[in-house]
Each structure stands twice: as structure tokens, then as C-alpha cells.
Amino acid sequence: MLDEVLTWRFAADSVVSHWFRAHPKLGIRDRAEVAEVVYDVLRHLRRYRQLGESGVGNSVRRLAIQGAIATLGADKVRPVLDSGELAWLDRIGQIDPESLSLPVRTSLPDWLFERIKDLPDLESLAASLNVAAPLDIRVNPMKADREEMLADLTKGNAVRHAPVATPFSPWGIRLKGRPAMNKWHQFEHGLIEVQDEGSQLLALLVGPKRGEMVIDFCAGAGGKTLLLGALMRSTGRLYAFDVSATRLAKAKPRFARSGLSNIVPVAIEHENDTRVRRLAGKAHRVLVDAPCSGVGTLRRNPDLKWRQSVQSLQELTALQARILASAARCVAPGGRLVYATCSILTEENQAQAEHFLANHPDFELVDAAPILAARTPLQIEGPYLSLRPDVHGTDGFFAAIFERKKNLVKDHSLATDEPRVEQAEPELAVESDLVELADTELTVERDVAPEVQNELETPGESAEPFGKTSKPLEEESAVTVLRSSADPKPNSKPKAKPKTKPKT
């Protein structure tokens, strides 16, 4: 499995899932151990490779040995090693980690180290990116209260995952370990959803209100969309745009569980799709959770730092600028535009915000600090939201808030005669996924402001909001896997995943 992961042709989670399907006799506990070894190697790959240079035999096996010792303990691993491997372990055990350079010690590729080396408390940040993240979930504000949910979770099997309230998000709950949440009744009934705390805070910055038109421009799997829709109390219209109909289709069960009826999923071809242009100048709020390098999520996706490059980053920043410019056309005068990434890189964050403002004089920057201070104990300097795992305990996130100026001469590029939107105080926001759900029974939301109905409709087509409509297996341990120098590889290859967070 590790050999296949290290080719970087497929995302690590895809390779791991495919390998497990090819080895159905592996027990649940041992699957977890094998996965932990693989992800530990990905987190510490540069250091493990340097230490492995002094060993003998298969180089990938030496990586696996180091990962197994780090996650399972030397007492479980050493008994299955030969004398040469044991001697090599003794040699590298005498090396002082502080004698290694910072990029090697923290396993940062050169392209990434060069971009974050001037950030404050670099070593703390780099170390935090190599620590597995806890699981953050949130309650559905339409259906549940956080305090009541915490009390409910402590009564059942979830108690062993030590559920606690997240420190900043008013809806978040943090769990230890990796519980099988999809079997919990709270999840099946749409009372809770998986979402990192940092992502939850974006909803506060969007601040959607009842009856408004809101666009989640890069909806992805629909997490933010669901929170935005709940904060709108299932009124108005919430468009979930995405270039992947497949992702929107996968979001369909989440939409159904949520109980929301104001979500309109729309699969678009690209950021300048005709359906995007039809909403020019009409939206009260637009969220752009842009495709990015995902560097802020390395705690969960450590392979991203090895699968990215200077070239892919350049391509991403160009795409981000195009998406942000296209989304800006949808914002009505007085409306709000929120740009966000799960990255800690300046060129994807502050530099993009400054570039946008320089090229869009009809927008002005809004300070995120007072907006967050009104709803959360989180204190930031502003004007941007910048989150770090070592400081805030969340994934790395960035967000900038822009407001379209009201006193504008009419822009004839905006194909609309809609009246100007009066800016209102923020209430709350979310994330979303998009796809044209032709096979889904839809219901029309009646509680919608007249000016936000049927914007996308043309003769012969319509856009409507989404409505709700054994024997134990033989176990094989992770240590046993190490006994074989090479596991049989699956005959078929896993489906390739994009290197980046695949959005518009």
C-alpha cells in the first residue's frame, strides 16, 4: 500500500480505501493501525527518508518500520525485524533530532518551507501540522441545541470520545479519535454534521439573514452550505454552485437529513457559466471558499505537501483570482463577498485580497474582528481572519470580507434592474455542494422574497430548492503486514482524486 501512496498518482485516502477493499479479512482495529502507520510516514516523510539512508534493504520498508514504531511502539515492531534492521534502528536512535535542519526535522518540502519560513513561531506551526487533528462536528441549528447535544452524547457510546464544546464556534463539538458517526442516530436524523471549527466560523463572516439570496460559489461537499441554510432558517434562496455534479450528488443525502428546503444546487461548467451571469448584481451574500493548496489541512491530508509544487500553486492562484472576480459580479450594491481558503500561504490569502481590491474599486474591505467578537470569544487583530492549528486548534484558515459600495453609478455589465440592497448587520453563514439533482424530488420554498425567485429560470428549465424528500472476520495485524516485504497489490487502481480541494 505504501508503495502505491508514494507514487503520488492518487490521493492517500483513496489508495488506503482501495487497499482495504482488496483485503477484506483485515479487522477493524488493525485497519486503523495500518492507516495510522501510513499517515505517520506521510507526515514525517522527509525525516524518515534521511534517517533511512543509512539502512539496508527495501527503502519503503524502512519508512514503514519507522512509522510503525512511532504509532505502535518499538516493543511490538522489533520482534519481527531481522538483525540488520535492528542494528540500523540502534544507529538512528542515537541521532539527536535537533541536529537536523528545521525543514528535515519537521518534514517540510522546500517549496513549502520557503513560503512559510518568515511566519511567526515557525517551528510551532510546522510541528502542529504534523499532529493528527481531532474530529470536529457541529449541531444543526435548525434541529438541535449544542448543550443538549453534549448531554445526549455523554449518555451513549460517544462518551468514550470525550465530547467537549469547541472554544470559538457556538455550534461546534470536538471529539477524540475517529468514531463511526454515520451509525449514530443523531447523524442519521440530521442533528449533527462533520465540519472543522474554522470552517464553521466562516458562516459568522457571511452573516446570512432570512429571506436573502445567498450564493455558496464553491460549495464542494455542502458543509458550509448546510450551515448557511440553517442560519437563514430555510428561507430565501441559497444557491450551491460547483463544477462537479458528482460532489453535489454526494451532498444530496446531507441536504435531505438537514431538513432544509431553500438550497438550490447548480452544477456549472466554469466560473463564467451563463447561470452565474444571470445572477449578476442580485445576491445579498456570496461565499467563495476557493480551491487552494490545502496546506492548512495537513493534519488531515499530509500527502498534499508532497503532491503540490510551485507550478500547481501558481495555477491555483490564477484560478482563485478568476473565481473571485466572477463571484464579485453576483454581489448587489451593499452586499457582502467573503473570500476564504484552507491555506496559510500569503499568495493564496492576503495577496489575493489585495489584488482583488486593487482591481475592484467598487469594493471595500470589511474588518472581520468586530464581526467575530460579537458572536464568539475569538480575538483577532483583523482585518482578516487567519487561523493556525498551533494557536487556535483548528485547521489553517483564511478569510477576507468585502462589501460592494452602495453609491455606485450603475454598472451596465450587471445585467439586472434589481434595486440596491441595503446592508444589514450579519447574522450567520455556511458552506455547500452543487449538482443538478434531476432524479431528486424537489419542493418549492414559499417563504422567499419576491425579488429572489426564478433568477435562473429560462423557458423550458427551472431551478428549484432542494426538499427532503454477521460472522467476525479473520484479523491480520499491522505488525503482521510488516513481516512481508511486499504485499500483493490490487489488480485495479483507485480512482484518481484531484490534488487540491476540488471546487469551482
Over its C-alpha atoms, the chain yields an Rg (Å, rounded) of 24
Residue 209 one-letter amino acid: K
The b/e string for 259-292 (b: 16+ C-beta within 10 A; e otherwise) is bbbbbbbbbbeebebebbebbbbbbbbbbbbbbb
Known catalytic residue at 342: yes
Place of cell 483583523: 382
Using CA atoms of 292, 293, 294, 295 in order, give the dihedral in degrees to the nearest 10: -140
Choice among 218, 292, 330, 342 that is catalytic: 342
Q: Reduce the DSSP state of residue 340 to 3 states and report it.
A: strand
* Residue 435 to residues 48, 173, 219, 220, 355, Cα–Cα distance (Å): 42, 29, 10, 10, 30
- Residues in Cβ contact with 167 at an 8 Å cutoff, skipping those fewer than 6 apart: 197, 377, 378, 393
Distance of CA 383 to the CA centre of its chain: 23
The number of CA neighbours under 13 Å toward the Cβ of 314 is 4
Can you tell me the distance from the alpha carbon of 102 to that of 123, in angstroms, rounded to the nearest whole number?
Answer: 8
The Cα angle at residue 13 between residues 241 and 104, in degrees rounded to 5: 110
Going by the DSSP 8-state scheme, the letter that residue 106 receives in this structure is T
The packing angle between helices 59-72 and 83-92, to 10°, is 70
Catalytic residues: 342
